[in-house]
Amino acid sequence: MNQPLRVGIAGLGTVGASAVRLLESRSNGLVPRTGRALRITGLSARTRERDRGFDPAPYSWFDDATALASNPDIDIFVELIGGEDGPALDAVRAALKAGKHVVTANKALIAKHGLALGRLAAEHDVQIGFEAAVAGGIPVIKTLREALAGNEVDHVSGILNGTCNYILTRMQQDRIGFDECLAEAQRLGYAEADPTFDVQGYDTAHKLAILTSLAFGTEIDAESVYVEGITSITLADLDAADELGYKIKLLGVAQRTESGIEQRVHPTMIPKSAAIAQIDGVLNGVAIDGDAVGQVVLVGPGAGGDATASAVIADLADIARGLKIPAFGRPPETLAPYTRARMRRHEGGYYIRFSVVDRPGAFARIATCMADNDISLESIVQRKRAVRSAPAAETEPHAQQPVVLLTYETTEAAIRQALETIETAGVIASKPQIIRIEAARTA
């Protein structure tokens, strides 16, 4: 039997405390599964004196995470501090340079510094595990990095933020407005006091950038992700979506196209029959399309102390078992540069909701602008009375009434051009709402 692997854990918030408790309760049970014991030896957090549901007495205490990270008495450094720079980055760098393996749940850190940290890990011949950084307890990193190794992946889409999914589900199911749902999510602990990062889509963008690198073998590039949040989604949109057979989800999508790889985060209309449309509440889910396997969908808790700690333990167990795999599944020097597909070249269907002004010919003007840009309309919904297959609304204008159009597949550039012309023509009362449609990818 090998010597136990000594684990230092920095950051004892919800996830950190769960990780300590879970590792304490499972460490004996893990030995037959890994061939090597995992023992906590050191801890670090801002305050030692707090009841976290375990006794810190048996472990060395470090006020400074970096001191723990480079301490000779640990073999693996677990970073659960959070933040893309600052102490988390310093400590992870120190650990790798000192030849320690690293396990982290920090998506912001990996999204921004993953490539550099992957290089550092390779240089020092140690592992860096971040299963917990994306979709909590769902093994999406392992699935992309190992289980689908024989596939060319051409599309990954995910519901990666439980806060947004909770809010959209609640709005849709109970017809409650965004602000009220957000306040409720905050009361229930599903949303942060400052929810900007979640509801504006940035959290999803970080996670998506990590998945993109794993799926396509490209250098991680979180800066290039096109990001729209969910703050503009109204009950009118959710009602129209429902009527048209769709659900609205905040989706992160990475997709191979002729001009490069699209990375985009935005509210998305998904056909109700799609597997990912069924994922409601705080759950996360990821759909991966591989050329050999077809579509695999993984669903589960995307956040929470124990679910995230489960992923931390999985990474620790892999390291104990002796797994040797580069951070993004391939040696850093073999990752291809990320080639960004411009959002203007995105192709797909669009949902557009207008408030059309009460003026003769206003709708005709809109229809003409769409036609001038080669945009074909699949359906028109006016005043929630019916879904029609042809633009018959011209003769019955309703002042400031919402008109919803669904287009057939077109390009983002055409949509933007058409909307610019429509806006300057003064036939709509406010900025149009645009939601991209994701076609079903499996039968």
Residues that bind a second copy (CB under 8 A): 18, 22-23, 26, 29-30, 32-35, 131, 137-139, 142-143, 146-152, 217, 275, 278-279, 281, 290-301, 304, 306-307, 309-314, 316-318, 321-325, 329-331, 334, 443
Name the active-site residue from 107, 142, 207, 247.
207
Backbone angles phi, psi at 409, to 5 degrees: -55, 130
The least CB distance from residue 152 to a second copy, in Å, is 8
Distance CA(140)–CA(398), nearest Å, equals 48
**Beta carbons within 8 Å of 441's beta carbon, 6+ residues apart:** 155, 274, 287, 289, 295
Neighbour count for residue 431 (Cβ, 10 Å): 11
Print the SS3 string covering 41-76. Answer: EEEECCCCCCCCCCCCCCCEEECCHHHHHCCCCCCE
C-alpha 416/C-alpha 418 separation (Å) is: 5
Crossing angle, helix 162-174 and helix 178-187, to 10 degrees? 130
Residue (35 or 426) nearer to a second copy, CB:
35
Q: Which residue has the tokens 């124990």?
A: 306
For residue 103, the minimal CB distance to a second copy (Å) is 12
CB closer to a second copy, 117 vs 141: 141
Going from the C-alpha of 19 to that of each of 13, 38, 82, 211, the distances in angstroms are 10, 12, 15, 23
Q: CB of 322: closest distance to a second copy in angstroms?
A: 6
Name the token pair of 278: 């069924």
Q: Are 229 and 205 in contact (CB under 8 A)?
A: no
Q: Which is nearer to a second copy, 102 or 288 (CB)?
A: 288
Residue whose C-alpha is closest to residue 119's, from 318, 315, 316, 331: 331
**What residues contact 58, with CB distance under 8 A and at least 6 apart?**
40
Nearest residue (CB) to a second copy, 229 versus 290: 290
Please say which residue, 225 or 277, places its beta carbon nearer to a second copy: 277
- C-alpha–C-alpha distance, residues 439 and 298, integer Å: 19
What DSSP string describes 395-414? GS--TTEEEEEEE-SEEHHH
431 assigned to active site = no
**Residues 6 or more apart whose Cβ sits within 8 Å of residue 224:** 263, 338, 340
**CB 425 → a second copy: shortest distance, Å?**
44
- With tokens 């549901």, the residue in question is 53
Cα-Cα end-to-end distance for the chain:
50
Tokens of residue 379, six digits? 């359906």
**Catalytic sites, residue numbers:** 207
